[in-house]
Amino acid sequence: MALYPYVGTKENLLALMQDQASALPSWPDPGPDLAADLQAWALALFALYLRHPWLASRPWSQATQGPNEQDWLERLLQIFQRWKVRNPAAITILYATVRSCAETAAAYETIDPAQWLAVHNQLPDLRERYPLSTSLEPVSPDWREAPRAAVIKAVEVLARGMSLR
C-alpha cells in the first residue's frame, strides 16, 4: 500500500516494473550481415524474457513503451536502417517469434520429461496418424534448447527473405 501514493495503481506499478526490467544490455559491435545483427538483437531479447518470464506473459496491449522498451525498438530500427530494410511487418514477426519462443522455453522449465513421455507414449499410432510432423528434423538435439534454436533459425529465414528485396 505504501507504493500506491507514488505510482497510482497496480497497473502503473506493473508498467514501471516492465519498463525497468526491459533495460537494454550492452550491445556488441555491428555484425557482418543483416542476419548476424538481427540474431544479436533477437537473442538478447530472448535472454531478457528468460530472465523475466512474466514480461512475455503480459499482453502486448499493456506494453508501456517507456524509454527502456522503446530502446529495443530503436535498436531494431537502427539495424533495419543499416541494412536498408524497408519492411515494417518484420518488426512484429521478430517480436512475436522471440516472445513465443521465450514463453515456450520458460514453460519447458516446468515440464517433467518423464510425465511428458508417459502421455506421449499413450499414442501408439502417433507416427501413422501424423507422418509429416513426426518426421520433422528437430532444430536442436536437446528439446530444452529447441526454443532458442528456433529463434536462430527463424531469424535466418527472415533475414534471407528481407535481403531479397
Q: What is the pLDDT of residue 78?
A: 95
pLDDT, position 87 = 87
| Mean pLDDT, all residues of the chain | 89
- With a pLDDT cut of 70, the percent of the chain lying above it is 97
**Confidence (pLDDT) at 93:** 95
pLDDT attached to residue 8: 85
Q: Tell me the pLDDT tens digit for each residue of 36-64.
A: 999 999 999 999 999 999 998 888 777 76
**Residue 158 and residue 38 in contact, taking contact as beta carbons nearer than 8 Å:** yes
Q: Which residues of the chain have pLDDT under 50?
A: none
Residue 84: CB atoms within 10 Å: 10
The candidate with the shortest Cα–Cα distance to 75, out of 19, 27, 132, is 27
Q: Could you tell me which residues come within 8 angstroms of residue 147 by beta carbon, excluding any fewer than 6 positions away?
A: 46, 101, 102, 104, 105, 108
